[in-house]
A and B are shown apart, each in its own frame.
Chain A
Amino acid sequence: MKYFFIFSVVLIAGCGGGGGSSAVVKNPATYYETTEYDSQYGLSNIKASDIYLDGYSGSGVTVAVIDTGVDLDHPDLVANIASGGYDFIDNDADANPDGQGAFMSHGTHVAGIIAGVKNDVGMHGVAYSAKILALRAGDSDGSLFTSAIENSIDLAISQGAKVINASFGSSDIGTSTKDKWLSAHNNDIVSVHAAGNDSNTDPDYGAKLPADSGYEALENTLIAVVATDSSNTIANYSNQCGVAKNWCMAAPGSGIYSTVDTTDDNHIGGDGYATSNGTSMAAPHVSGAVAVLRSKWPSKSASEVVTILYDTATDLGDAGIDVVYGRGLLNLDNAIYAQGALTVATASGGSHYLSDSGFSSSGVLGDALVQSIETAVYDKYKRDYYFNLNKVVLVPKSALMSTELKFEDTIQRGIQIDKSYQNLQVSFAQDKSVDKVFAFDDKTNITGLSDTYSLYADSHLSQIDHATVINVASTGNIKTSLGMVSGYTDKNKTHAINGVNAAVLVNSTDDFSFSVQLSHLNESETFLSNYFRGAYQTGIAKTNAINLIVSSKLSNKVEFIAQYSKGRTKVNPLKDSVVSSVSTIDTKGYSMSVVANTDSGTLFATFKRPMKVTQGNMTLTSANGLNADDSISFINQDINLSPSASEENMTLGYLSDYNNNTFVLLLNHKNNTNHDVLAKSEQQIMLKMSYKF
């Protein structure tokens, strides 16, 4: 039994560190929580600031406000007033309030909650970039006329409104009006209705219209809204969801600060703003939220958007859907952000979980995949979200010399059995360095060092781990060999690789030798040890490689050794993969060493350029959004697989094994570690001493 005492010192001077990519620095959500934002607590209670962070504010969506008229010239509204509005009371194109009787500013207040302009003045709306289609259907005293409402619905449809806000109601509703709301539904419009202010257990019409026979379909696109206060409790005046609980939700309605007509002298101060209460104020919060969602995902139908709002609402009251709060409190933050597991789509129609998809890059690709390539992923509602592929790239870590502190028999693990039959030597090896098994001599192996710091071992064969090798070599003057290898490209024995190797030693004297190795390798799930998972999976890869080894004595004690490897790889893409094509990939690597054998030990200096891709492209057919018909759109993205830098690896070493004492000193310097142009230079020093007794 052998015991080892080891006294080892490792000095790994760290000027190391891999590269990295710069991240886009975003403002926090609080950036949007301005005085203007805080002036209307409803925005905070529906969690609006997070959505503004990503630029969602209703741009491109028209919200029809059927009401008592809107102050079209209000400074906080004028920029968001759509053309095409109409006054169905005066029958003209001026939808301003009439100013008669009790001057209520109802429509103006509602419009401000939906789309008040974000301009650091007063307040701003939930969807501050949406457009208001002002449709006047009533008087400022708060009464709205049936025919004017019906005409307004027709105009909202023809003007392309995506949502209609109806902050009005009644205990009854005529069939013709019911049919108009059904028409809006059939034209893919979301209608949002105030539940009413009678403290009743059921909402008024039109909020409860889907409960009527023949209008059940409206349940998918009509939203009844009850009012909550600043503490998210239903207002004492608000009707409850009741029979409408399945198509009902809650939103802030009490104490809502918004725009009023600048000429409305019934409001103290006359500054164009006032605080009001009612389910009339709750409904426009939901209308604004619908506008935000329909702006972000214009291909989504009215019913899909409504479903998202329901599913993402914050539960209030009794657990689940209840007769007070229905689906719960509007939660715009939840509604905007991805729900469920994200998936990566393939052009063949396949879908893979993002969590199962990505790249595990081997050293040969270096920093090629660490680049900004945006792709779309989809949530459970098939909404598109975007991320950079470099977030799913695993790059190899820089090798540390600490491995060299292990004992020799740990580093040189595995077994090898050699048997000679006349001029043939048959070798069987497991878990040995494939390079060494196939080599005709062991000049390139400095005893006691791992593959990383031996003089070479950077051929294509060196990527094989846990290898089983059978090799037959002739031992005559002309040495040839033929061998088979089977193993894995990873230490976990997950990805198989197998192949054959033929070699010939062209000339072998004590002073000079030159050998050629020809290898053919098959990888079933990887290429050049790069593993692309899930949506990015690749098929069988075949590599043909040549490895040249030259050794020449420069003097009795000094020897020059060089190795050069070159390979060509073909990768079969899979149909159900984002990786739609891969060109022929060329790889190259080489090393040069000078070894001086002295009486006391071995001194060597090595310069390596580890194997890397020198030429090759991969095409990703990546999802990049949604088409108008809600199908997934794709684009081709070409990726150059050649790293932007080449690693330079220089090692100076001294090894002594004398009278059971082992002394190893290694100095190593690397530039562009792992072929990463952003990697800092690394220097490592290792000193190992061991005593065997």
Chain B
Amino acid sequence: MKKLFLMVISILLFGCESENYQPIEKTQQSNNKIKSDLYYVPIGRDDDGCMMYQAKSESMMTMQAIIYQNGLGKFSMSRDKPNCL
């Protein structure tokens, strides 16, 4: 029950994410680990309600483009997708 509560709180916080930078540690639980030490960290929603992600790593430089996720779960830099999550 406690774990479920924490999960709900976590999801709520995640969904209301501000534009502020998220430390990588928090997002390691977000299932957006792309590969070893590479995460797509949610950084907030854009004006259309699409979640924006930023690639983060502790050991590597990362591209500074906003990433979106489509309904199929695929990540892309393209903002053209009407079915973003």
Question: Is the Cβ of A276 less than 8 Å from the Cβ of B66?
Answer: yes
- With both beta carbons as reference points, the residue of chain B lying nearest to A275 in the complex is identified as B79
Q: Which residues of B contact A278 (CB under 8 A)?
A: 63-66, 77
Chain B 18-45 interface mask (CB, 8 Å, partner A; 1/0): 1111100000000000110010000110
Q: How far is the CA of A141 from the CA of B21 in the complex (A)?
A: 20
Tell me the minimal C-beta distance from B35 to chain A in angstroms: 7
Tell me whether B14 is interfacial, beta carbon within 8 Å: no
Partner of A141, one of B55, B58, B78, B80: B55
Tell me the minimal C-beta distance from A619 to chain B in angstroms: 57
Tell me whether A561 is interfacial, beta carbon within 8 Å: no
Q: Which residues of B contact A170 (CB under 8 A)?
A: 57, 60-62
- With both beta carbons as reference points, the residue of chain B lying nearest to A283 in the complex is identified as B64
Q: Which residues of B contact A281 (CB under 8 A)?
A: 65
Partner of A276, one of B20, B58, B65: B65
Question: Is the Cβ of A168 less than 8 Å from the Cβ of B75?
Answer: no
Tell me the minimal C-beta distance from B52 to chain A in angstroms: 6
Tell me whether A489 is interfacial, beta carbon within 8 Å: no
Q: Which one of A104, A142, A199, A236 has the greatest number of beta carbons of chain B within 10 Å?
A: A142
Tell me whether B2 is interfacial, beta carbon within 8 Å: no
Chain A 168-205 interface mask (CB, 8 Å, partner B; 1/0): 11101100000000000000000000111111100010
Tell me whether B3 is interfacial, beta carbon within 8 Å: no
Partner of A236, one of B44, B54, B55, B76: B44
Q: How far is the CA of A145 from the CA of B78 in the complex (A)?
A: 23
Which of the candidate stretches A30-38, A263-271, A361-369, A395-403 sits at the interface with the other chain? A263-271
Q: Which residues of A contact B59 (CB under 8 A)?
A: 146
Question: Is the Cβ of A168 less than 8 Å from the Cβ of B62?
Answer: yes
Q: Which residues of B contact A268 (CB under 8 A)?
A: 78, 80-81
Tell me the minimal C-beta distance from A249 to chain B in angstroms: 15
Tell me whether A67 is interfacial, beta carbon within 8 Å: yes
Tell me whether A68 is interfacial, beta carbon within 8 Å: yes
Within 8 A of B (CB), among A19-78: 67-68
Q: Which residues of A contact B74 (CB under 8 A)?
A: 102, 266
Partner of B52, one of A138, A143, A237: A237
Q: How far is the CA of A347 from the CA of B33 in the complex (A)?
A: 66
Q: How far is the CA of A103 from the CA of B46 in the complex (A)?
A: 22
- With both beta carbons as reference points, the residue of chain A lying nearest to B59 in the complex is identified as A146
Chain A 140-172 interface mask (CB, 8 Å, partner B; 1/0): 011111100100000000000000000111101
Question: Is the Cβ of A197 less than 8 Å from the Cβ of B77?
Answer: no
Tell me whether A96 is interfacial, beta carbon within 8 Å: no
Chain A 280-298 interface mask (CB, 8 Å, partner B; 1/0): 1101000000000000000
Question: Is the Cβ of A102 less than 8 Å from the Cβ of B34?
Answer: yes
- With both beta carbons as reference points, the residue of chain A lying nearest to B45 in the complex is identified as A236
Q: How far is the CA of A170 from the CA of B38 in the complex (A)?
A: 12
- With both beta carbons as reference points, the residue of chain A lying nearest to B34 in the complex is identified as A141
Q: How far is the CA of A269 from the CA of B78 in the complex (A)?
A: 11
Tell me whether A106 is interfacial, beta carbon within 8 Å: yes
Chain A 631-663 interface mask (CB, 8 Å, partner B; 1/0): 000000000000000000000000000000000
Partner of B65, one of A146, A173, A204, A277: A277
- A-B pair number, CB within 8 angstroms: 146
Partner of A144, one of B20, B34, B63, B80: B63
Q: How far is the CA of A195 from the CA of B66 in the complex (A)?
A: 13
Q: How far is the CA of A310 from the CA of B58 in the complex (A)?
A: 32
Q: How far is the CA of A142 from the CA of B57 in the complex (A)?
A: 10
Question: Is the Cβ of B38 less than 8 Å from the Cβ of A269?
Answer: no
- With both beta carbons as reference points, the residue of chain A lying nearest to B76 in the complex is identified as A266
Question: Is the Cβ of B63 less than 8 Å from the Cβ of A199?
Answer: no
Tell me whether A105 is interfacial, beta carbon within 8 Å: yes
Partner of B76, one of A104, A167, A168, A195: A104
Partner of B61, one of A168, A200, A274: A168
Q: Which residues of B contact A196 (CB under 8 A)?
A: 64
Partner of A277, one of B35, B60, B79: B79
- With both beta carbons as reference points, the residue of chain B lying nearest to A267 in the complex is identified as B78
Partner of A280, one of B22, B43, B44, B65: B65
Q: Which residues of B contact A138 (CB under 8 A)?
A: 60-61, 63
Question: Is the Cβ of A104 less than 8 Å from the Cβ of B60?
Answer: no
Q: How far is the CA of A149 from the CA of B67 in the complex (A)?
A: 22
Q: Which one of A102, A145, A255 has the greatest number of beta carbons of chain B within 10 Å?
A: A102
Partner of B38, one of A143, A168, A198: A143
Question: Is the Cβ of A141 less than 8 Å from the Cβ of B38?
Answer: yes
Question: Is the Cβ of B64 less than 8 Å from the Cβ of A199?
Answer: no
Tell me whether A476 is interfacial, beta carbon within 8 Å: no
Tell me whether A486 is interfacial, beta carbon within 8 Å: no
Q: Which one of B55, B59, B66 has the greatest number of beta carbons of chain A within 10 Å?
A: B66
Q: Which one of A67, A103, A198 has the greatest number of beta carbons of chain B within 10 Å?
A: A198
Please judge, given known A-B contacts A102-B74, A197-B43, A278-B64, whether A143 and B35 are in contact too, CB under 8 Å: yes
The 7 nearest A-B residue pairs measured at CB = A198-B21, A199-B19, A194-B64, A278-B65, A142-B55, A142-B63, A280-B65
Instruction: Sample 20 A-B pairs with CB under 8 A, ordered by A number.
Output: A101-B35, A102-B74, A103-B76, A104-B65, A142-B38, A144-B60, A170-B57, A172-B58, A198-B20, A199-B44, A236-B46, A255-B79, A268-B80, A275-B78, A275-B79, A275-B80, A277-B65, A278-B63, A278-B77, A280-B63
Residues of A within 8 A of B (CB): 67-68, 101-106, 109, 138, 141-146, 149, 167-170, 172-173, 194-200, 204, 236-237, 255, 260, 266-269, 274-281, 283
**Beyond known contacts A173-B61, A197-B66, A237-B19: 19 more, CB 8 A cutoff:** A103-B76, A104-B76, A106-B65, A142-B38, A142-B62, A143-B38, A144-B62, A146-B60, A167-B64, A168-B64, A169-B62, A172-B58, A197-B52, A198-B22, A236-B44, A266-B76, A274-B77, A278-B64, A280-B63
